[in-house]
Amino acid sequence: MDHFLYRGGVLHAEDVALPEIAAAVGTPFYVYSAATLTRHFRLFDEALEGLDHLVCFAMKSNSNLAVIKLLGDLGAGMDVVSGGEYARARAAGIPGSRIVFSGVGKTADEMRQALTGGVRQFNVESEPELYRLDAVAREMGRRAPIALRVNPDVDARTHEKISTGRKEDKFGIPLARARAVYAVAAELSGIEVVGVDVHIGSQLTDLQPFAAAYAKVADLVVALRDDGHDIRRVDLGGGLGIPYERSNAAPPLPTDYGAMVREIFADLDVEVEIEPGRLISGNAGLLVSQVIYVKSGEDRDFLILDAAMNDLIRPAMYGAWHDIVPVAEPAAGSDRRPYDVVGPVCESGDTFAKSRPLPPLDEGDLVAFRSAGAYGAVMASEYNSRPLIPEVLVRDDHFAVIRPRPTFDEMLSRDTIPDWL
């Protein structure tokens, strides 16, 4: 469910008509619904009711400060994967005690940054990282709380580029080596072992891979406790998918996911951490764009939009589907015709959809890409020297620009021409 509905023949974000935002900020732009973000976080929080738990929002899906603060004020923790994300979380008021630092390539500077500012735990992905973190922590006179990320060799059955729990993936420590690496960690004076971490991929639409991985984690917790380790937490990662194509079957609900987690871990007396990103922010956002031209080709018609692959790269990178809808509600039973929906970037890859059936559209019409709140703005670039587009947050009947569109002068000011040129 989201809060983007037609009212009076016009698509609204909560109680704000999208043409009103377009008139204020220009197109293209991202718009997020505070009500949807709130609802989706609470669905996860309530799904784990009865378990000691913390829902940590995966900031890689959407790292706007306003979004982070909104979720943090609801009690969310944050899952960060870089020093920049850590800085954003702290700037949005998230205490270090609610920040989990993940990622395969943490640098010594990032470790120092988190140890200085406070961190709930580091999810350690390799033995070299473990030794590096121990050295940094000892140098600072600290002990770094850690969970080792184990690789359970479970196929998440998702897109090749977002599957992370198979033995051939770069993530985590092989499950067969976990007990030996925990034994090493226990001997390091700069390390405090607190838990076990796993994350098998993103956009999963079936609970079975989760259950398979989590069962292995539960067995590992028992074995590690038998080895003398004080395992207090299990970090189960994120990955639950969203229905990008409304005509497809819906993925499992957070309530179903929560029931599965409770069945596996309720008797282990551990705190459960989960790190949803896409399911909280994905359907909470739209990308709104304007039709520049309707072009008739040799054997197809093109909708050329003012949004491009640099603004929303998922279709070009993953072949991802986003429902595309006109902002002006089409008449019931109106004819549809196939369009290739494309952007203005000088690459054939700048294509959002091929032969997509849509109502007839004209120059100047607005269209909205649904389910664009995750991995949209965060993956955007200034390719072709196109400015990053605005982000807007709506609550009830008012909206605020939470990231403005930079001017060309602001873009150019970041470059420097050496005085010897």
Per-residue pLDDT of the chain (421 residues; tens, 9 = 90+): 689 999 999 999 999 999 999 999 999 999 999 999 999 999 999 999 999 999 999 999 999 999 999 999 999 999 999 999 999 999 999 999 999 999 999 999 999 999 999 999 999 999 999 999 999 999 999 999 999 999 887 654 444 444 444 445 556 798 989 999 999 999 999 999 999 999 987 778 888 888 999 999 999 999 999 999 999 999 999 888 887 876 566 788 899 999 999 999 999 999 999 999 999 999 999 999 999 999 998 888 999 999 999 999 999 998 999 999 999 999 887 899 999 999 999 999 999 999 999 999 999 999 999 999 999 999 999 999 999 999 999 999 999 999 999 999 999 999 999 999 9
Q: Residue 199 burial (CB < 10 Å; 0-12/13-18/19+)?
A: buried
Q: Give the architecture (CATH level 2) of 103-274.
A: Alpha-Beta Barrel (3.20)
Domain(s) of CATH 2.40.37.10: residues in the chain:
4-31+282-412
What element of type H or E holds 402? strand 398-403
d(CA 3, CA 332): 21
Give residue 281's Cα distance to chain centre.
7
Predicted pLDDT at 154: 64
Q: Is the pTM of this model over 0.85?
A: yes
126's CB contacts (< 8 A; 6+ apart) are 104, 173
Question: Which residue type sits at 59?
Answer: M
Return the number of other C-beta atoms located less than 10 Å from residue 383's C-beta: 15
Predicted pLDDT at 214: 93
Predicted pLDDT at 249: 63
- The C-alpha R_g of the chain, in whole angstroms, comes to 23
Q: Give the architecture (CATH level 2) of 4-31+282-412.
A: Beta Barrel (2.40)
Domain(s) of CATH 3.20.20.10: residues in the chain:
103-274
d(CA 347, CA 115): 44
Predicted pLDDT at 203: 78
Q: Which residue has the tokens 């991929």?
A: 201
Active-site residue set: 346
Rounded to the nearest 10°, the torsion over CA 253, 254, 256, 262 is 170
Return the number of other C-beta atoms located less than 10 Å from residue 150's C-beta: 26
At 176, list the tokens.
């067969």
Question: Which residue type sits at 368?
Answer: A
Q: Which residue has the tokens 């718009």?
A: 31
